[in-house]
Amino acid sequence: MDQSNPLFTSPTFIALVRWGALVVGVLVVLGLLWFLYRQTRSKPRQRLQRVRTLHCVRCNHDLRNHKGANCPKCGLRIPPEQARLLDESQSNPRKKGEEIDD
């Protein structure tokens, strides 16, 4: 690359490169922050959805016809609020995928 080219040494070009790098850096940081925000927000929502639809919170196994205290697939202990919903659902059967209202 020829260093004597006035385009690459002009103050305007250097300022544009610096501003461009700054904008790209800010966009990368904002993208990472958005990704981390979505990761932390989706887990509680996903857990609540699985509890309400009577699925295991770890492996998503359907627990509606299960009578034990642990998930038969992964062995996770069923949370108390979900155990209460399971007891209610076994005495009051619902269609597959239907949520239970509190």
Identify whether the C-beta of residue 73 lies closer than 8 Å to the C-beta of residue 80: no
**DSSP SS3 for 62:** strand
pLDDT tens digits for range 19-64: 999 999 999 999 999 999 888 777 777 778 888 888 888 888 888 8
* Local structure of residue 76 (DSSP, 8 states): P
Whether residue 102 is predicted with pLDDT greater than 60 in this model: the reply is no
Whether this model's pTM surpasses 0.75? no
